[in-house]
Amino acid sequence: MNIQFKKGVLELCVFAILDNGDCYGYELVNKISENILISEGTIYPLLRRLTNEGYFTSYLIESSEGPPRKYYKITAEGSKVYNDLKDEWHQFVLGVNRVIERGEKN
């Protein structure tokens, strides 16, 4: 898979999943991996950054299978940013598809 396509979009995916309910990092990696190839080394720094920026908060919960899980919860501000980002994404896809389609028709 083209690495470059993912730039900025993984952030959108993390927002989308957390907007639907709390998750821990490892779980996010698995959920996203169902549709897009992704590495753990990508998600953990991303979660930390977005938490520092105030879009997520985190809390620890003990697990019976491994070390405690760090759950992330989206904030109201994060939810707002997510909606803007999602709109931008759809607009962007439309723009790219127009460029491609025009090339094919003419």
Partner DNA sequence: CAAACTATCTTGCACTGCAAGGTAGTGGTG
Partner DNA sequence: CACCACTACCTTGCAGTGCAAGATAGTTTG
- Total length of the chain: 106
17 in contact with a copy of itself (CB under 8 A): yes
The upper half-sphere exposure of residue 79, i.e. CA atoms within 13 Å in the direction of its Cβ, equals: 8
4 in contact with DNA (CB under 7 A): yes
CA distance 82 to 15: 6
| Span near a copy of itself by CB under 8 A; candidates 39-47, 52-60, 62-70, 98-106 | 98-106
24-83 residues near a copy of itself, rule: CB under 8 A:
31-32, 34-36
Closest to 47 (Cα-Cα) out of 71, 68, 31: 71
CB 70 within 8 A of CB 62: no
| Span near DNA by CB under 7 A; candidates 59-67, 73-81, 90-98 | 59-67
Query: How many other CB atoms are there within 10 angstroms of residue 42's CB atom?
Result: 14
- Considering the complex, state which of residue 41 and residue 103 has its C-beta at the smaller distance from DNA: 41
CA distance 33 to 83: 22
100 binds, among DNA, a copy of itself, none (CB under 5 to 8 A by kind): a copy of itself
Interacting residues toward a copy of itself by CB under 8 A? 1-5, 7-9, 11-13, 16-17, 19-21, 31-32, 34-36, 85-86, 88-89, 92-93, 95-96, 98-100, 102-104, 106
